[in-house]
Amino acid sequence: MEAWYRYRGVAAIVAIPVLLIATVLLVMPRSAPYPVHDFSRVQPFSRSQFEDAGAGASGGGSAGTARWAIVIDAGSTGSRVHIFKFLVGKGGRLELQFDKFDQLKPGLSSYADNPPAAAESLAPLLELAEKTIPKDAQKQTSIMVGATAGLRLLPDGKADEILAEVRTWLRKHPFKFSDEDVKILSGVDEGAFAWLTLNYLLGRLGGSEQDTVASIDLGGGSVQEAYAMTEAEAAAAPDKQYLTELRSGGKTYHVYVYSYLGYGLMAGRAAVLSEEETEANAQGHPCVPVGHQGTYEYAGKTMQMRPHAEGASHERCERVVLSALKHQAECGAPQLQCTFNGAWGGPRVPKVFYISSYFWDRATDAGLIEGADVQQLQLAPSHFGKLAAKACSTGLEELGAAFPKMADELRPFFCLDLSYAHTLLTKGFKIPDDAQITLVKRVEYNGELVEAAWPLGAALNALG
């Protein structure tokens, strides 16, 4: 005590600047610790086609009322939370204000032998939601957890145990949810919600089905097609498995959605390379470039890759792709309505298509996308055909010079990938070779670039 008394003057001198620094830090503006797409600074939609976007929000609310939704995307490598804030506009339309998100690793599937730990791993994401959403709105805020590829691959029972623990854990939090809001998403779920997101961001909701656009998303394991049907078209469907009802824009949409499992780009490679065509096996494969000898592994299987005796050929490669697609398989409807692998494609081919994911990636690799700021590009399926012809007629060693934007590891597959993309669009989905389609990576929404991914669509459907 005596020592403190002796040095009290020194302590005072040190304390004064420390207090001043602390005061300055407290009043300084701080940057947000989490990434945020903030739309609150810009004007609402002005074009008439946007007037009903998101109309009919469940629970209503007068114009200017805030509506919240939480969606957790539980993927194979990690979990990501989206905290959406909407304002209710005229006619009940929902106007997106911001999408605050955060992510963490590993994913839920990493806790296969410890389900309680899987649920607890989501704690930081829920803490962010509780800090972001006003307390008086939390009990009315829906939370959804959609698990994708990782949990689908777990042994029987493991995924159910994890989901049960997540439901138990969520009950400790103030948000609104039902057991059905925590589930493994099917490819159909992802395709449907992604379709809703895309059309919302484009301002295509609220009118007729003809005002909306169709989407084709080429993933690694599967490819999904989605588009809106009229009520009469939906009633005539040979099987209700192709139909999903989604609510938004002040109406209910009958959406055709089908997920072609085993026909994503990576799975498609395996299907094409293992195709038992005499032409593909006896003399080598027409999709493999001259100069390459190797293997391709997918889903525990190994396929040999050796070039055809006459070299790679776009025409012969597409014949093998067509065979792998099983495009002549019956679908329980007139053959003109069948797409491939025995699936029904609907009574008509939609007029406006947006295609994404690996379609975008391969177009970028081929040099079609110029500039990092390009997010959409109009082209025809024939562009993929011309690029495939160029790739297939080029030897392995020359491919790098012919396609300078392509990564070296893609060289053995470039002829196959481009031929697959072209055949899938024109023969699989029956899009005319000269039709105008749109490649899309992200959509500009009120000055912000937003990915047309499924979480926003899930939130819109829950609220709308």
Summarize pLDDT for 70-83 with one digit per residue, the tens.
Answer: 999 998 889 999 99
Q: Kindly state the helix (H) or strand (E) to which residue 116 belongs, with its residue range.
A: helix 115-120
Determine the Cα–Cα distance for residues 322 and 419; give it in Å rounded to an integer. Answer: 10
| Backbone φ/ψ region at 75: left (φ over 0), alpha (ψ -120 to 50), beta | beta
**Domain boundaries, given as residue ranges, for the chain:** 33-185, 187-445
Percent with pLDDT over 90 in the chain: 70
Answer yes or no: is 332 a known binding residue: no
| pLDDT for position 156 | 80
Q: Tell whether the model's pLDDT for residue 375 goes beyond 90.
A: yes
Answer yes or no: is 311 a known binding residue: no
Answer yes or no: is 464 a known binding residue: no
| pLDDT for position 312 | 92
| pLDDT for position 12 | 44
Taking a C-beta distance cutoff of 8 angstroms, is the pair 410, 402 a contact? no
Answer yes or no: is 222 a known binding residue: yes
Q: Which of 386, 379, 389, 383 is nearest to 355 (CA)?
A: 379
Answer yes or no: is 224 a known binding residue: yes
Question: What is the CATH code of the structural domain delimited by 187-445?
Answer: 3.30.420.150
pLDDT band at residue 153, thresholds of 50, 70 and 90? confident
Report the 10 Å Cβ neighbour count for 392: 25
Distances in Å between the Cα of 70 and the Cα atoms of 128, 131, 205, 332 are: 11, 13, 22, 40
CATH among 3.30.420.40, 3.30.70.60, 3.30.70.3000, 3.40.50.150 for 33-185: 3.30.420.40
Q: Tell whether the model's pLDDT for residue 365 goes beyond 50.
A: yes
**Per-residue pLDDT averaged across 168-190, rounded?**
94
Q: Which of 126, 86, 103 is nearest to 34 (CA)?
A: 103
Determine the Cα–Cα distance for residues 266 and 61; give it in Å rounded to an integer. Answer: 46
Q: Tell whether the model's pLDDT for residue 2 goes beyond 50.
A: no
Instruction: Convert the pLDDT of each residue in 199-218 to its tens digit.
Output: 999 999 988 899 999 999 99
Instruction: Convert the pLDDT of each residue in 317-348 to its tens digit.
Output: 999 999 999 999 999 999 999 999 999 999 99
Say what the alpha-carbon torsion angle 459, 214, 272, 295 is, to the nearest 10 degrees: -40
The overall average pLDDT reported for the chain is 85
Catalytic residue positions, numbered: 190
Q: Tell whether the model's pLDDT for residue 233 goes beyond 80.
A: yes
Taking a C-beta distance cutoff of 8 angstroms, is the pair 183, 160 a contact? no
DSSP3 helix / strand / coil % (the chain, rounded to 5): 40, 25, 35
Asked, colleague to colleague, whether 33-185 and 187-445 share their fold, the answer is yes
Instruction: Convert the pLDDT of each residue in 262-284 to its tens digit.
Output: 999 999 999 999 986 444 456 78
**Per-residue pLDDT averaged across 425-443, rounded?**
97
**Per-residue pLDDT averaged across 304-313, rounded?**
90
